[in-house]
Amino acid sequence: MKRLLHKLLSQKPSMTPTPETPTPPTGRPEPTGRPEASGRPGAHGRPSEPLPEPSVILENGWHVAHFFYRFRRDVMDGPLSPALQQQLHDALHPAESDRPARLATYWISGHRADFAVMVMDPDPAKVDGVHQSIMAPGIGRYVEPAWSFVSMSEVSEYVPSIEEFKRRLVTGGEDADSPAVAAKVAAYERRLPMMNEQRLRPEFPDWPSACFYPMNKSRVVGANWFTEPFSRRNAMMAEHAQSGMAFAGKVSQLISVGVGVDDWEWMVTLWGRNPEYLKEIVYKMRFDQASAKYAEFGPFYVGYKAGAEDIIKHCKLN
C-alpha cells in the first residue's frame, strides 16, 4: 500500500492548463484580447478617426499677421523716389492674383512704428508674401521691421452655445418658459452662425482708427488663469463680453490666437468708428475680473487707416 501511495504522489501532473488558468512560461497572464484602459486613443476598441491630409490650410479659421515698420531715414538722402513710392504702393496694394483675402494698412501714431499692415488669408504664404514684398530689394533698403505678430482666427471656447445662452438668461433672473426668453434664444440662434463667421473670416470695417495689442492670461500664484475651472473662466468671460456689448456699432474686434505660433497668447485688434471709443472700451473692460486679475498686456499700437500714398505723405517722404 505504501509503495502504491508513493507511486501516485510521484506522478507528474498534466501539463495541459485548464481554460481558467492560462499560465505562460513568463509567469504573466496571457492577453485576453480585451483592450486595456490605458488612456491612449483607441485603447477602448473604438476605431480612431482618419487623420487629415498634411496641409498648411487651417481646418477652421485663417492665418493672421500684423506687421509694423519704420522708415530708415538715416539712410535717406531725400524723399523716396517715384520708383520706390510705386514699389511700396504695389506691396501694400498687391495684384489680384497675389492679394490676400483681407488686407488693411495704417499709419501708426508714436515713435515705435511708421505704418502697419494687417493681413488674413487661408494660405500663410499669401499672408507672409505681403511682408516679403515690403522688404524686397529696393524699398526694403529704406524700411525696417519694428514688430510683428503671427496668429490664427478661431471661435473661442467661451462663445456660448444656444443652450448656454439660455442658461445665462435664466441665471440672470428671466423665466425659462417665457415668450421673451424664447424670442431672445431664437434671435441668438439666427445670429450665431454669422457671428462665428465674423470671428473666423471677418470683414474689416471701413472705420478710420484701429488699436492693436497682444496679451496673455496670468499664471502667477493666486491668479493663475489656467488652474481655474472652466465654469469660473466661462463666467468671467461672459462678464467681459457683456462689457464689450455696450460698444456695439462703435467698436468691432478680432481676437486671434498666437498660442504655439508667437510669443504672446492672443492678439487683440479693435477697430473704432472714432478713436475715442478705443480708449473707452479698453478702460471699461479693465475693471472686469478677467482683465483686472488675470490679463497681461503687451505693447499698444494705434493706427489710422491709410493707403500707400497717405502713409508716404504722412511720413513726409514724398
Q: What is the pLDDT of residues 24-69, one digit of tens each?
A: 444 444 444 433 444 444 445 566 889 989 999 999 999 999 999 9
Domain 63-153+306-314 fold is Alpha-Beta Plaits (3.30.70)
Task: Determine the Cα–Cα distance for residues 292 and 282; give it in Å rounded to an integer.
Answer: 11
**What is the C-alpha separation between 118 and 151, in angstroms, rounded?**
11
Q: Taking CA 154 as the corner, what is the angle to CA 149 and CA 157, rounded to the nearest 5 degrees?
A: 120
C-alpha–C-alpha distance, residues 207 and 273, integer Å = 5
Query: DSSP string covering 110-150, please?
Result: SSS-SEEEEEEESSHHHHHHHHHHHTSTTGGGGEEEEEEEE
Q: Grid coordinates representing 306?
A: 491709410
- Does this chain's domain 63-153+306-314 share its CATH topology with 201-302? yes
Q: Give buried/exposed letters for 193-223 (b at 16+ CB in 10 A, else e).
A: eeeeeebbebebeebebbbbbbbbbeeeeeb
pTM of the complete model: 0.82
**Predicted local confidence at residue 48, as pLDDT:** 81
* Mean pLDDT score across all residues of the chain: 89
> Stretch 226-253: mean pLDDT, rounded?
95
Strands, E assignment, the chain: 63-71, 102-108, 115-121, 143-152, 209-217, 219-220, 223-224, 251-257, 266-272, 295-297, 301-305
Cα separation, 152 vs 201, in Å, equals 10
For 267-293, how does the pLDDT look when each residue is reduced to its tens digit (9 = 90+)? 999 999 999 999 999 999 999 999 999
* For range 287-310, the mean pLDDT: 97
**pLDDT score at 203:** 97
pLDDT for the residue numbered 45: 55
**What is residue 49's predicted lDDT score, i.e. its pLDDT?**
85
How far apart CA 162 and CA 191 sit, in angstroms, is 10
Cell of 8: 501516485
Checking if the pLDDT of 23 tops 90, the result is no
Collapsed DSSP state (helix, strand, coil) of residue 284 = helix
For 88-126, write each residue's pLDDT tens digit.
Answer: 999 999 999 999 999 999 999 999 999 999 999 999 999
* pLDDT of 6 above 80: no
Give the three-state DSSP class for 160.
coil
What is the predicted pLDDT for the residue at 9?
A: 43
Query: C-alpha cell of 179?
Result: 415668450
**191 or 10: which leads in pLDDT:** 191
Catalytic residue among 69, 213, 277, 301: 213
The pLDDT score that the predictor gives to residue 5 is: 41
Helices 179-200, 162-171: axis angle to 10 degrees equals 130
Inter-CA distances, 122 with 207, 257, 263, 273, Å? 24, 15, 22, 27
Annotation says 213 is catalytic = yes
- 201-302: CATH topology is Alpha-Beta Plaits (3.30.70)
What whole-number percentage of the chain has pLDDT above 70? 85
For the stretch 170-199, pLDDT in tens is 988 999 999 999 999 999 999 999 999 999
Structural domain spans, the chain: 63-153+306-314, 157-200, 201-302
Q: What is the pLDDT of residue 47?
A: 62
63-71 and 102-108 as β-strands: parallel, antiparallel, unpaired? unpaired
